[in-house]
Amino acid sequence: MATHTTRMLIIGSGPAGLTAAIYGARAGMEPIVVQGLQPGGQLTITTDVENYPGFRDVVQGPWLMQEMQAQAEHVGTRTVWDTIMEIDLESGPPFRARGDSGDEYIGDVLVIATGAQAKWLGVPGEEALGGKGVSACATCDGFFYRGKTVAVIGGGNTAVEEALYLTHHATEVTLIHRRGELRAEKILQDRLFAHPKINVLWNKRVEAFLGDPGAGGLSALQLADMQTLEISEFPVNGAFVAIGHAPSTALFKGRLEMDANGYLVVEPGTPKTSRPGVFACGDVMDHTYRQAVTAAGTGCMAALDAERFLATFEYLQGEQAQAAE
């Protein structure tokens, strides 16, 4: 079991972590990126990406992330295939982390870019039809349903916002909710109910996503009525699961300030967490925007602030060493 020491330890290899790495490496911090179970992050589970700046044509999510990794490595980042299982923030800086491999990682500054995962229903057809009619991101995939019909599953703010957003593309949007009332804010509900393109199906649970992943993709949803238990089929071209996101923050529970939904709390307008020297960027600290470009932007901010922190930290270390002589 090895020990890896760096000035800048980054946990997570999505757009946030890799952008932090690009900036950190160019600032001479020789970052180590611990990739986690999903090297490249959430964009590796999608196909077409059309809203990341710099590309006139559609690019593929996995390709984009390979390019980001290659760029980060080209400027001096080391990426490691490991997952952080334990962390010690209390005695840092430097901060110590232990990987699934047993290796230890020690970083003078820590950048947390562990992202968030959309929650899925876990019903038949959902996985097989993922990217073929089933999605968890209307901003990302809504464009593909221009002139088509879509359903949004969920009853919170995200579901209502997704439904409203999809009206820009789809001909008809149906919100499917398992209860008879929404939990979304009233102002959003008012907009939803007033929209001529949106219908709501109440008290319906999605039992299965139907269709052929090899030909045509999603064609219908199998629904169960929560009151009568009656089963029905609802034909639709696209379905957006919007039942919430879960930030990957279990490691930091009790160690860093989090909001009620488990997102890391940062000083407003900065990537600074509640512990000096620990920075957070991307979806792990942002439940509002959740886009690759915003994740990359906050990754950049984390690296810039990490560099400033490190300059002071190293200066103080130098002074302490001098005083001890």
What SS3 class is residue 251? Answer: helix
Judged by CB under 6 A, the residue of 6, 12, 31, 198 near ligand FAD is 12
Identify what 121 binds: ligand FAD, ligand NAP, none; CB under 5 to 8 Å per kind: ligand NAP
3-state DSSP percent of the chain in helix, strand and coil, to 5: 30, 30, 40
Catalytic residue ranges: 137, 140-141
Q: How far is the CB of 36 from ligand FAD (least distance, A)?
A: 2
Which residues, other chains included, contact 20 with Cβ-Cβ below 8 Å and sequence gap of 6+?
8, 10, 31, 111, 113, 279, 281, 299, 300, 302, 303, 306
Judged by CB under 6 A, the residue of 62, 156, 213, 262 near ligand NAP is 156
* Token output for 124: 């038949």
By CB under 6 A, is residue 32 in contact with ligand FAD? no
Which residues, other chains included, contact 145 with Cβ-Cβ below 8 Å and sequence gap of 6+?
166, 169, 170, 237, 238
By CB under 6 A, is residue 248 in contact with ligand FAD? yes
Q: For ligand NAP, which is the closer residue by CB, 21 or 163? A: 163
Describe the crossing of helices 157-166 and 186-194 by its angle, rounded to 10 degrees.
30
Which part of the chain contacts ligand NAP (CB under 6 A), choosing from 29-37, 70-78, 177-185, 305-313? 177-185
By CB under 6 A, is residue 191 in contact with ligand NAP? no
Q: Please work out the total of residues on this chain that contact ligand NAP, with binding judged by CB under 6 A.
A: 16
Task: Please list every residue from 74 through 133 that binds ligand NAP, using CB under 6 A.
Answer: 121
Alpha-carbon gap, residue 130 to 134, rounded angstroms: 5
Q: For ligand NAP, which is the closer residue by CB, 197 or 287? A: 287
Amino acid identity for residue 87 in this structure: I
Is residue 30 within 8 A of residue 76, CB to CB? The reply is yes
By CB under 6 A, is residue 192 in contact with ligand NAP? no
By CB under 6 A, is residue 72 in contact with ligand FAD? no
By CB under 6 A, is residue 154 in contact with ligand NAP? yes
CA nearest neighbour of 59 among 68, 148, 114: 68
Q: Tokens 């952080």: give the residue.
A: 84
Q: For ligand FAD, which is the closer residue by CB, 9 or 160? A: 9
Residues near ligand NAP (CB under 6 A) are 121, 154-159, 161, 178-179, 183, 243-245, 261, 287
